[in-house]
Amino acid sequence: MSKDYTFNPGDFVVYPAHGVGQVTDRKTTTIGEQTIDCICIHFNKNDMTMQIPAQKALNSGLRQVATPVMMEAAEKVLCKKVKPKRVQWNKRNAEYTAKIGTGEPVALAEVIREVYKDPTISNQTSSEKEVYEKARDRLAAEYAVIYKMSEADACCKIECLLKGEVSAK
């Protein structure tokens, strides 16, 4: 992704702490004697709007939505079989939370793949389910924007990839 991306109104973006949002405005705000160019982003999921100083946008982790090629890499991760980790849950949970915090599609897919348990075979603990759903929902939101589909359909696609019912592109 380009380092000089301008985040224009109408663009979909990803902010690691909140997921997918849409740039609604670029405006200049004066604080004291300083004039700051701000990017206004609305997140539908939690009906929240935030402003980020444009100079700090990239450092804050704000990025454009992934390309289809990047999403295909995430799909391939979802299709891989994973060996169970023999590490305590609290250490794995910290690792998963850090990966979710990056908001990167491949990192999210890794978390989803590692935490997923087929409900017909095994039960997830409540904390595993929470981590799984957070990662899945973040990935599905970006998937939905890229492929112009509903988030529910994107969730279904992700789960079909996990179960091996469809293959990655």
Looking at residue 26, what is its pLDDT? 93
**What pLDDT digit, counting tens, does each position of 41-82 carry?**
999 888 999 999 998 888 888 999 999 999 999 999 999 988
Q: How far apart are CA 165 and CA 102, in angstroms?
A: 28
**Domain region containing 22:** 12-64
Sign for the CA dihedral angle at 70, 75, 79, 81 comes to: positive
Residues 77 and 155 in one domain: yes
**pLDDT of the residue at 17:** 85
**Is 146 within the bounds of a domain?**
yes
pLDDT score of 3 more than 90: no
Determine what percent of the chain is predicted with pLDDT higher than 70: 93
Do 119 and 132 share a domain, yes or no? Answer: yes
Q: Is residue 104 part of a domain?
A: yes
The domain that holds 60 is classified in CATH as 2.40.10.170
**Same structural domain, 53 and 74:** no
Of the listed ranges 5-9, 20-24, 143-147, 159-163, the one predicted with least confidence = 5-9
pTM (2 d.p.): 0.86
Instruction: Please check whether residues 134 and 90 belong to one and the same domain.
Output: yes
If asked whether residues 107 and 52 sit together in one domain, one would say no
Q: 135, 92 in Cβ contact below 8 A?
A: no
Return the CATH number at 98: 1.20.58.1290
Both 17 and 41 in one domain: the answer is: yes
pLDDT for 94-118, tens place per residue?
999 999 999 899 999 999 999 998 7
Domain count within the chain: 2
pLDDT at 169: 63
What's the confidence (pLDDT) of residue 168?
A: 67
**Is the pLDDT assigned to residue 35 strictly greater than 70?**
yes
Residue-by-residue DSSP string for 30-80 = EETTEEEEEEEEEETTTTEEEEEEGGGTTTTT-EEPPPHHHHHHHHHHHHS
Same domain, 75 and 123: yes
Contact yes or no for 146/66 (Cβ under 8 A): yes
Average pLDDT of the residues in 106-132: 87
